[in-house]
């Protein structure tokens, strides 16, 4: 058990102990995901008063694995989570996170390497102290470090990449166990993404599978336009199968597909709806293909 001081945030060492303890506690309660190598995550923090001049997480070589089967201790986790509550803070201190960086070069998801690099600057933060731990199992939950929904003048950059040839292994490693839980055996999978113009991606997918005695396959083609301001528009979408039964079933999907085609989908709206950060927008969003599929952009 980590013993937390009554002074919060205290000093850099106190913040580091709290961050590592909280990271372990949160991931221990995660459903369906296992993180291996968590002790190898490098965390650095430089505290000055109530401002964090620098905070960095380096998760290089950490391994993330998924298991869709019910965990034997899931009921115990749910019962423990039910005891967690959101107490009213008895003390709050505002501050600023001057520089945040989260990187992994790479993180290993199942058997696939994914490179991630996220940076943020001038984030408002709030140090909170409660009368008692929010989670009785974890002493460190008597304190919290939060970022408000509206981050104001904050800005940042992000990038992620994966080798194109690893797209299928990653997709199948995630989908196969999930489909197996509902009795579907996933067979051969093909996936290809290629640049189509300055702001377009042509996606071609094929998947085969078996459900009980039914063996079937389906194919899909789509052209997706991605603007620099994070507006996604599907301009073409076709879906078909050589299996007559599957082809008939796919006919019922034509109406929702027609509703998708040509309709712009603003990712900034997702940020506002889920995070409440209405002042934050994505700019210079770029998706490139080739030997790697890479996504990058900036936020402010």
pLDDT digits (tens, 9 = 90+) for 204-251: 999 999 888 788 899 999 999 999 999 999 998 988 888 888 888 888
Q: 25-34, 148-157, 183-192, 259-268: lowest mean pLDDT where?
A: 25-34
Model pLDDT, residue 80: 53
Sole residue written with tokens 């749910």: 78
Asked if residue 155 has pLDDT above 80, the reply is: yes
Model pLDDT, residue 256: 83
Tokens of 233: 């528009």
Q: Mean pLDDT over residues 182-206, rounded?
A: 90
Asked if residue 45 has pLDDT above 90, the reply is: yes
pLDDT band for position 5 (50/70/90)?
very low
pLDDT band for position 2 (50/70/90)?
very low
User: What is this structure's pTM?
Assistant: 0.83
Q: Mean pLDDT over residues 167-180, rounded?
A: 88
Cα 86-89-94 angle, rounded to 5 deg: 120
d(CA 44, CA 163): 29
Model pLDDT, residue 1: 45
d(CA 180, CA 172): 11
How many CB atoms are closer than 10 A to CB 1?
8
Give residues with Cβ within 8 angstroms of 206, minimum separation 6. 188, 189, 190, 191, 217, 218, 219, 220
Q: Mean pLDDT in the chain?
A: 87
pLDDT tens digits along 129-141: 999 999 988 999 9
In this structure, the strands spanning 265-266 and 231-240 are antiparallel
Q: Is the dihedral of CA 82, 86, 87, 93 positive or negative?
A: positive
Give one word for 212, left, alpha or beta, with left for phi > 0 and alpha for psi -120 to 50.
left
Q: What is the DSSP string of the chain?
A: -PPPPSSSS--HHHHHHHHHHHHHHHHHT-SSEEEE-GGG-EEEEEEETTEEEEEEEE-TT-EEEE--SPPTTHHHHHHHHHT---PPEEEEEEEEEEEEEEEEEEEEETTEEEEEEEEEEEEEEEEEEESS-SSTT-GGGGEEEE--S--TT-EEEEEEEEEGGGHHHHHHHHHHHHHHTTTEEEEEEEEEEEE-SSSEEEEEEEEEEEETTEEEEEEEEEEEEE-TTSEEEEEEEEEE-SSHHHHHHHHTTHHHHHHHTT--EEHHHHHHHHH--TT--EEEEEEE-SSEEEEEEEE-
pLDDT tens digits along 78-117: 555 555 667 889 999 999 999 999 999 999 999 999 999 9
d(CA 60, CA 64): 11
Asked if residue 293 has pLDDT above 90, the reply is: yes
Q: Is the dihedral of CA 70, 75, 76, 81 positive or negative?
A: positive
pLDDT tens digits along 246-272: 888 888 777 788 888 999 999 988 766
What are phi and psi for residue 7, nearest 5 degrees? Answer: -85, 120
Q: 29-33, 135-139, 191-195: lowest mean pLDDT where?
A: 29-33
Model pLDDT, residue 3: 46
Tokens of 198: 């300055």
pLDDT tens digits along 48-88: 999 999 999 999 999 998 876 545 455 555 555 555 667 88
pLDDT band for position 177 (50/70/90)?
confident
């Amino acid at each position: 058990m980590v013993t937390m001081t009554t002074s919060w945030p205290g000093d850099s060492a106190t913040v580091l102990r709290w961050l590592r303890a909280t990271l372990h506690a949160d991931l221990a309660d995660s459903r369906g995901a296992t993180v291996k190598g968590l002790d190898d995550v490098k965390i650095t923090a430089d505290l000055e008063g109530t401002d964090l001049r620098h905070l960095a997480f380096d998760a290089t070589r950490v391994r993330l694995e998924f298991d869709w089967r019910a965990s034997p201790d899931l009921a115990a986790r749910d019962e423990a989570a039910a005891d967690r509550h959101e107490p009213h803070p008895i003390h709050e201190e505002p501050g600023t996170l001057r520089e945040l960086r989260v990187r992994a070069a790479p993180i290993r998801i199942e058997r696939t390497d994914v490179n991630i690099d996220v940076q943020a600057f001038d984030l408002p933060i709030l140090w909170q102290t409660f009368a008692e731990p929010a989670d009785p199992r974890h002493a460190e939950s008597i304190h919290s470090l939060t970022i408000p929904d509206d981050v104001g003048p904050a800005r940042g950059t992000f990038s992620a990449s994966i080798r194109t040839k690893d797209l299928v292994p990653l997709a199948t490693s995630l989908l196969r166990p999930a489909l197996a839980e509902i009795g579907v055996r996933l067979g051969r999978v093909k996936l290809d993404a290629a640049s189509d113009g300055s702001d377009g991606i042509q996606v071609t997918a094929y998947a085969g599978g078996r459900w009980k005695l039914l063996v079937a396959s389906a194919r899909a083609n789509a052209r997706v336009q991605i603007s620099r301001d994070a507006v996604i528009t599907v301009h073409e979408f076709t879906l078909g199968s050589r299996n007559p039964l599957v082809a008939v079933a796919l006919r019922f999907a034509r109406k929702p597909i027609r509703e998708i085609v040509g309709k712009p989908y603003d990712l900034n709206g997702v940020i506002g709806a889920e995070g409440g950060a209405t002042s934050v927008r994505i700019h210079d969003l770029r998706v490139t293909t080739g030997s790697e599929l890479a996504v990058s952009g900036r936020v402010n």
